[in-house]
Amino acid sequence: MQKVIVLDFGGQYNQLIARRVRECNVYCEVKSYTTPLSQLASEKPIGIIFTGGPSSVYDPASPQVDPAIFELGIPILGICYGCQLMAHHLGGRVTAGTEDTAREYGKTDTFFETDCKLFKGLDKEGVTWMSHGDYMEKVPDGFSLVAHSAACPTVAICDESRGFYGVQFHPEVNHTQHGTDMIRNFLYEVCGATGDWTMGDYRDTAVAQIREKVGDGKVLLALSGGVDSSVAAALIAEAVGKQLTCVFVDHGLMRLNEGDEVEAAFKKWDINFIRADAEELFLGKLAGETEPERKRKIIGEEFIRVFEAEAKKIGKVDYLAQGTIYPDVIESGLGASATIKSHHNVGGLPDYVDFKEIIEPLRMLFKDEVRGLGRELGLPEYLVMRQPFPGPGLAIRVIGEITKEKLDTLRLADFIFRDEVAKAKLEDSMNQYFAVLTNMRSVGVMGDGRTYDYTLALRSVTTTDFMTADWTRIPYDVLDRVSTRIVNEVPHINRIVYDITSKPPATIEWE
């Protein structure tokens, strides 16, 4: 299988670049810029992409590469910081930009030389998304200028004899017209990609790998009923059948009636299903805890402890399986990238795990790829397209200290929100929507009396990849019905607010 390596320099769009590559049916992985050159070369990538990043290449403390990477004979595409890094190492000169010398942000009219392979078949003029404060004052010898804007003559450069390309803009974001086409051109016109990355191939390969690894051993899987764990369960079941035991940990942090729904949904599957009632245990461990990262760590640790207890009840278990997906891995910290938030199945594992090994068959897949794999495995559409739900559950949708009373309050409010969205037939216009019980209380009036109760926040986003997202423009009449019902039907809530923040700067979840 062909591979492209996305070399990360702390850019906020590192995952998005990888997704765009995979959308072109080419497999890729995101790796830190600190990855040794020998390791990169040993993986024999057909191409390398340098991400953007917040640093300036002329700063001695900025992330750099081993200059020998340019001698490997592998095509390289540099994006924003990656473009400047290439120029810096190959004899160009990068300086701080000014308003008069190509400091550019946002949508920018850009002009392309379509004789360049990177822009083959595209219009000669289009809009790109700029976000750079530095300027390539001098491009390296041997490079041509192949795109410019009104403010910047060096928007894109290339040395086609060596397969080196650099762009100051971000082709991976939707704001750049034909950005994916540019990435596809790099992959197919420059790197010689054949498009051998499909979910059908992944299914066959993953089944064979799981079967070989597990042998005649037993596997224990955390089954939440969400998309990730369900697809992982189906994939492992296809590989080893009855050797798989799925444990649904009912931690008391699920949405309204969801525990019963999960159990009912999996009665027809040929798996060993165990429902572990651990609500009291989890609430006890979380009592008094307000810091979101600590909540995640506690939940991760308790998940493992419960699995260990269930494993001892059913006998020897060799492997623990998890539905970890690629954004979980990257958001939990990768090289120069900031740790956005630790995921319970990545950063929250305790040092000691009482299993031979952890199996994560979805670890290298993005969410849309997981859904595609679910369809390949024959999972029903209602399960494949289930509303995303975080591993720590409502623990990170209750801001501040967690109590059963707060959870019950949130469960009912969240149900009303989802119920009204369904009645308005708006599910297809939003990708994730939920309620958050804030820790803020305010004065209200109900009947003739004064109240002092909680503020509930509603959140809904539209997105294609969950790496970036825009807030959903829910019709006012729907929001009005939701607000009226919640205030009248749910105790302890007297104020409703709607979150209109995109990602970035916010994340989709509040914690």
pLDDT tens sequence across 92-107:
998 887 666 555 667 8
The residue-averaged pLDDT of 380-391 equals 80
The H-or-E segment that residue 376 falls in is helix 367-376
Higher pLDDT, 181 or 264: 181
Q: What is the pLDDT of residues 6-42, one digit of tens each?
A: 999 988 788 889 989 999 999 999 999 999 999 999 9
Q: 138 falls in which pLDDT band (50, 70, 90)?
A: very high
Answering whether pTM is above 0.85, one says no
Q: Count CB neighbours of 380 within 10 A.
A: 13
Task: Report the C-alpha gap between 361 and 359 in whole angstroms.
Answer: 6
Q: Which of 88, 132, 170, 251 is catalytic?
A: 170
Q: 408 falls in which pLDDT band (50, 70, 90)?
A: very high
Residue 238 has pLDDT above 70, yes or no: yes
- Give the tokens for residue 72: 């490997």
The predicted pLDDT at position 418 comes to 94
The predicted pLDDT at position 101 comes to 55
Nearest to 156 by CA among 173, 176, 185, 136: 136
The predicted pLDDT at position 346 comes to 42
Nearest to 319 by CA among 241, 224, 218: 218
Task: Report the C-alpha gap between 509 and 82 in whole angstroms.
Answer: 30
Burial of 432 (0-12, 13-18, 19+ CB in 10 A): middle
- Which backbone phi and psi does 50 adopt, to 5 degrees? -90, 130
Task: Report the C-alpha gap between 320 and 355 in whole angstroms.
Answer: 6
Higher pLDDT, 54 or 494: 494
Q: Which of 172, 302, 331, 369 is catalytic?
A: 172
* 94: β partners: 136
The predicted pLDDT at position 343 comes to 44
Task: Report the C-alpha gap between 4 and 193 in whole angstroms.
Answer: 9
Task: Report the C-alpha gap between 237 and 270 in whole angstroms.
Answer: 8
- Which backbone phi and psi does 38 adopt, to 5 degrees? -60, -35
Task: Report the C-alpha gap between 431 and 6 in whole angstroms.
Answer: 27
Which ranges of 277-341 does DSSP label H, i.e. alpha helix?
279-286, 292-314, 326-331
Residues 6+ apart with CB under 8 A from 84: 57, 78, 94, 132, 134, 136, 166, 168
The predicted pLDDT at position 492 comes to 94
* 127: β partners: 109
Does the annotation mark 89 as catalytic?
Answer: no
Residue 220 has pLDDT above 70, yes or no: yes
The predicted pLDDT at position 6 comes to 96
Does the annotation mark 24 as catalytic?
Answer: no
The residue-averaged pLDDT of 385-409 equals 90
Burial of 496 (0-12, 13-18, 19+ CB in 10 A): buried
Which ranges of 107-161 does DSSP label H, i.e. alpha helix?
none
Residue 142 has pLDDT above 50, yes or no: yes
User: Please, what is the Cα angle at 110 between 106 and 115, to 5 degrees?
Assistant: 145
Does the annotation mark 170 as catalytic?
Answer: yes
Lowest mean per-residue pLDDT among 181-190, 218-227, 232-241, 357-366: 218-227
What sign does the CA torsion over 136, 139, 143, 149 have? positive
Residue type, 393: G
The predicted pLDDT at position 333 comes to 53
The residue-averaged pLDDT of 358-363 equals 91
Nearest to 343 by CA among 403, 390, 273: 390
Give the largest Cα separation in the chain, rounded: 80
The residue-averaged pLDDT of 382-409 equals 89
What sign does the CA torsion over 96, 79, 335, 92 have? negative
Q: Cα–chain-centroid distance for residue 95?
A: 33
Higher pLDDT, 243 or 97: 243
Higher pLDDT, 100 or 398: 398
- What Cα–Cα distance (Å) separates residue 420 from each residue in 253, 386, 423, 474? 22, 17, 5, 11
Residue 458 has pLDDT above 60, yes or no: yes
Q: 337 falls in which pLDDT band (50, 70, 90)?
A: very low
The predicted pLDDT at position 98 comes to 66
SS3 of 136, please?
Answer: strand
The predicted pLDDT at position 412 comes to 98
Q: Count CB neighbours of 430 within 10 A.
A: 18
The predicted pLDDT at position 240 comes to 92
- Give the tokens for residue 280: 């009291």
Q: 88 falls in which pLDDT band (50, 70, 90)?
A: very high
Residue 342 has pLDDT above 50, yes or no: no
> Edge to edge, what strands does the sheet with 357-359 contain?
272-277, 244-250, 219-222, 319-321, 357-359
Q: Which of 24, 80, 158, 191 is catalytic?
A: 80
Residue 473 has pLDDT above 90, yes or no: yes
Average pLDDT, the chain: 89
